């Protein structure tokens, strides 16, 4: 087989376990042999539409087997897959389609109207509509395209260094950038997950996190498929349905952000639910509140936390179950095939930070991306001597375990002291009546800048600013404790669910 990239995965897995279930969606099961055949037919269909090596093929829609079929089909041809965030507005989608130079767009029924809205702006050559999406404006029907295509093997020479995917970063500080991930980047990341999560061929993963997001795709779905396990795809997260799916499919592996796991734990079904099949719970995207860790611990379940970024495909650090309690609050140590350092922040070189000293996380390894699409200067500036500079602040303890502190750019300097908002937010979230918290800096005549906590309180709790601040006394150094607390109904987030602090500064940043 000449193809050594992701496009060959269905064929390679079908050689070994053709009858094993690969994907489950809406009551339908696809075996690995069927996934291989459908991906191959789609590759022929894309080729008939003019897709060649290096062309970009985008996907816009909810979690569905066609997402993965499109990824594998593009990889079969040596084309480049572009997953689009379903939560973005039309101008943002149009920008990413145009920026990537997408030639073919596959889309689902949930986004048919948006596709029509951007059709003229994006200059996409061909559209492919899933069942239920209006195939107007000359769009090809997805299933008809597969039915009319050949099923004979396509074996392009695709290597680990070839570009596989352009995954747009979440753009918390401006317009999103396309991270260029190679077949090797994604393969090595999957290998890291297989090693450090101890995945088995009997794994059953519940994929309710969006596939367009790097964690849902690269930390959950692709490693399970590489190992030969089963992925249960659902279009969106629903707490009640989660219990049903776990019990019906005997789910062993889940990924989610803290808000998802909180919603499950607050459900009236929580106490009586059968969660005995669950083996691996991975959580990322935000600090996990201690109260949430305790709630799952009472059910005999342990969160495996880590740290990553789109540019690293995304796994960088991982805290295993053995150290979940003894190193609580840590993001762990580097993945097996990854090198990570914490270096002195603000210095041109890569001087290692001393234990306990806050510095910047830098990473290198076969999973680290090659740069940003169409941005050679920004790509070059992101690396120093081969190390990718994350822009994230962390400190390392005497045992080598890293603790992520915050984005360096979000640091508050108060009276000459550095305050990292994430550390303060973590402490505030320990209060049982705090659902969400963000800390921003506000101008102060005496100290130059002081912290302000923006809090979402539990409904009916009667939580006051005094309650929040009193709970921090003795837990944080006095200079780290916010000087004020304001309440809001929800925190602003971008399409990937990441907190946006700029709107908070605009709304709550006045003295």
Kindly give the parts of the chain with pLDDT less than 50: 172-173
Q: How far is CA 365 from CA 192, 340, 341, 381, in A?
A: 11, 9, 12, 18
pLDDT for res 462: 93
| Region(s) of the chain under CATH 3.40.50.12780 | 6-159, 185-408
pLDDT for res 172: 47
pLDDT for res 49: 97
pLDDT in tens, 343-383: 998 777 899 999 999 899 999 999 999 999 999 999 999 99
H or E element, residue 94: helix 90-100
Backbone dihedral region for residue 171 (phi beyond 0: left; psi -120 to 50: alpha; all else: beta): left
- Topology, domain 185-408: Rossmann fold (3.40.50)
- Topology, domain 6-159: Rossmann fold (3.40.50)
Cis check: omega of the bond before 226, within 30 degrees of 0: no
Q: Write the DSSP string, 437-470.
A: EEEEEEEETTTEEEEEEEEEEPTT----HHHHHH
Q: Check if CATH label 3.20.20.80 holds for domain 411-508.
A: no
Backbone dihedral region for residue 66 (phi beyond 0: left; psi -120 to 50: alpha; all else: beta): alpha
pLDDT in tens, 429-460: 989 999 999 999 998 877 888 999 999 999 99
- 3-class state of residue 282 by DSSP: strand
Q: Rounded CA gap, 486 and 465, in Å?
A: 7
| Region(s) of the chain under CATH 3.30.300.30 | 411-508
């Amino acid at each position: 087989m000449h193809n050594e990239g992701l496009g060959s995965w269905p064929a390679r897995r079908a050689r070994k376990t053709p009858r094993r279930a690969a994907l489950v969606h809406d009551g339908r099961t696809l075996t690995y042999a069927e996934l291989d055949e459908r991906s191959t037919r789609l590759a022929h269909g894309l080729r008939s539409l003019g897709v060649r090596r290096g062309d970009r093929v985008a996907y816009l829609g909810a979690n569905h087997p066609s997402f993965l079929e499109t990824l594998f089909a593009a990889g079969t041809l040596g084309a480049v897959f572009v997953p689009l965030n379903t939560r973005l507005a039309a101008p943002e989608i149009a920008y990413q389609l145009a920026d990537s130079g997408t030639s073919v767009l596959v889309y689902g029924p949930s986004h048919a109207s948006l596709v029509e809205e951007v059709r003229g702006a994006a200059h996409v050559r061909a559209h492919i509509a899933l069942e239920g999406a209006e195939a107007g404006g000359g769009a090809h029907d997805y299933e008809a395209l597969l039915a009319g295509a050949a099923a004979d093997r396509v074996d392009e020479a695709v290597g680990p260094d070839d570009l596989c995917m352009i995954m747009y970063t979440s753009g918390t500080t401006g317009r999103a950038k396309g991270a260029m991930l190679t077949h090797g980047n994604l393969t090595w990341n999957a290998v890291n997950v297989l090693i450090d999560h101890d995945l088995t061929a009997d794994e059953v993963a519940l994929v309710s996190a969006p596939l367009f997001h790097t964690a849902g795709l690269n930390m959950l779905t692709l490693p399970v498929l590489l190992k030969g396990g089963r992925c249960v795809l659902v279009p969106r997260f629903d707490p009640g349905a989660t219990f049903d799916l776990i019990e019906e499919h005997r789910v062993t592996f889940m990924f989610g952000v803290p808000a998802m796991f909180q919603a499950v734990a607050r459900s009236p079904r929580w106490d009586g639910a059968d969660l005995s099949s669950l083996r691996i719970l991975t959580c990322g995207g935000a600090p996990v509140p201690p109260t949430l860790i305790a709630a799952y611990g009472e059910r005999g379940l342990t969160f495996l936390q880590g740290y990553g970024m789109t540019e690293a495909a995304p796994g960088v650090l991982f805290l295993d179950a053995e150290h979940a309690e003894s190193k609580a609050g840590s993001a762990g140590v580097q993945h097996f095939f990854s090198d990570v350092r914490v270096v002195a922040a603000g210095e041109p070189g890569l001087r290692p930070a001393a234990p306990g000293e806050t510095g910047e996380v830098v990473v290198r390894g076969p999973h680290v991306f090659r740069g940003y699409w169409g941005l050679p200067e920004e790509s070059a500036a992101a690396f120093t001597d081969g190390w990718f500079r994350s822009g994230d602040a962390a400190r390392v303890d005497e045992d080598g375990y890293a603790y992520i502190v915050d984005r360096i750019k979000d640091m508050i300097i108060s009276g000459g002291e550095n305050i990292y908002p994430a550390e303060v937010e973590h402490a505030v979230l320990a209060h049982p009546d705090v659902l969400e918290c963000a800390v921003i800096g506000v101008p102060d005549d005496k100290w130059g800048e002081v912290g302000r906590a923006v809090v979402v309180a539990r409904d009916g709790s009667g939580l006051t600013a005094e309650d929040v601040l009193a709970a921090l006394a003795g837990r944080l150094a006095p200079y780290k404790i916010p000087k004020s607390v304001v309440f809001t109904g929800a925190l602003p987030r971008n399409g990937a669910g990441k907190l946006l602090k700029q709107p908070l500064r605009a709304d709550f940043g006045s003295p």
